[in-house]
Every structure is written in structure tokens, then in C-alpha cells.
Chains A and B, each alone.
Chain A
């Protein structure tokens, strides 16, 4: 079992470009969560998705950020028109429908220059 796979590990974007972060959950996991980690701020919840549904996006910024988890393929976190403040580590986690087995990926470190 390959675990939760995130790619790319590192992503550099210029201000105004788009960033796409991908997350493939563990086999058998149908729930995906995205978190953002900023220095000195811990882990902040962004969005919780199941296949083809956004369950909770209370942590997503209102503009420029979107997420999807299609029927086929990985979950995508998309950031349009990136700004320097978007620079952070973005972590994905997945779980089965039970409360157990909440597993994290290694993260994508986004740097906006």
C-alpha cells in the first residue's frame, strides 16, 4: 500500500500563476482532507471532500482557491493567481468512512516568487 501520495513535493510559481497540487489517497480511502501549514501557525484545515462532493470547505479562502475530488483520479487543490502569502506546505490526508486510519501525505511545499 503506497500510502497517501502527494505531488509535486516542491512547487515554485511566480506571482499571478496557477498552482495545482495533487493528492492520491490510500487505497480504500474515500475521504480526503487538505491542510495548510504556515510557519508559527500550525496546521489549518482547508477542505474535506468525498468522491465528487465537497463536504466541508469552511477553511478555504473565499477567492482563488478551489478543490475537487473526481470520480477517477487524484484530488486537486488549485490556487489561481498565486501571491507570496500562499507560500506554505500543503498537506493532504485520507481516511476510510470510519474515524480510524487518518493518514497524511508528505506534503507539497509551494514557494511563490
Chain B
């Protein structure tokens, strides 16, 4: 069975500082990994994905994520946080079946 762990319920970061939202996964075979963002009372918006190729993936709004196979991690990063980045972030994995498994979500709070 595939699973995703987001170990932090909430991450607080000052505006302008770098941010990291952590994600580890477990899946049989090669993983497809995703990050989605959810703003209050909205649906989920796609940020970025890793399928194959370069371990560093660049996505929307200046976000990037690094795939680390040995650590089974796919942490989301941004060099300089904005207040508008405050939202709920979901990591997701897609293994051998067309069913994406989501983490519980991490609330990012960017402090002005």
C-alpha cells in the first residue's frame, strides 16, 4: 500500500525567509509525486510533480521540490516566502494504480 507522511501540521516562516514543507512517501515501484495547494474554501491547485528525470522539480509560484530516492522524500521549498503563500499544502503519491494518495496536509503560515 502506498502512503504519504507530512510530519508537520503547521509551518511558520517569516516573509522573505526560505520555506520548507516536508514530505516522505512509501510506494511500490517508481513513484509519481505531487504537491497541491489549497486556499481557504477553495479546491486543490496543482503546484508541481515529479515523474522521472531531474530530481529538482520547479513548479508554479516559485516553488520547487527535490526528489530524494534514498530518503524517500519530496520536500517542497521556496527561496523567499510571501504572505500570499499562506495556505494548506498537500503532498501526494501515485504508485502502481491510478489512485493518488494524499498526506494529511501542512498549514503554511507566512508572517509579515
Give A residues with C-beta under 8 Å from B: 6, 31, 33, 35, 40-43, 45, 48, 55-56, 91, 93, 95, 99-100, 102-107, 109
Contacts and interface: CB of A to CB of B under 8 A. Distances in A.
Contacts of A48: 98-99
Contacts of A6: 43
A100 B32 CA distance: 9
Q: Label chain A's interface by main secondary structure.
A: strand
B111 interface: no
Interface in B88-112: 90, 94, 97-105
Contacts of A105: 43
A56 B79 CA distance: 39
Interface residues of B, number: 22
B43 A42 contact: no
Nearest to A45: B99
Nearest to B102: A43
Given A42-B103, A43-B90, A106-B43, 11 more contacts: A35-B102, A40-B104, A41-B104, A42-B105, A48-B98, A95-B98, A99-B32, A99-B51, A99-B94, A106-B42, A107-B43
Given A43-B105, A106-B43, A33 B94 contact: no
A43 to B, nearest CB: 4
10 contacts: A35-B102, A43-B105, A45-B99, A56-B97, A93-B100, A99-B94, A102-B94, A104-B43, A104-B45, A105-B43
Would you list the 3 A-B pairs with minimal beta carbon distance, nearest first? A42-B104, A106-B43, A43-B102
Contacts of A109: 41
A45 B95 CA distance: 14
B34 interface: yes
A41 to B, nearest CB: 7
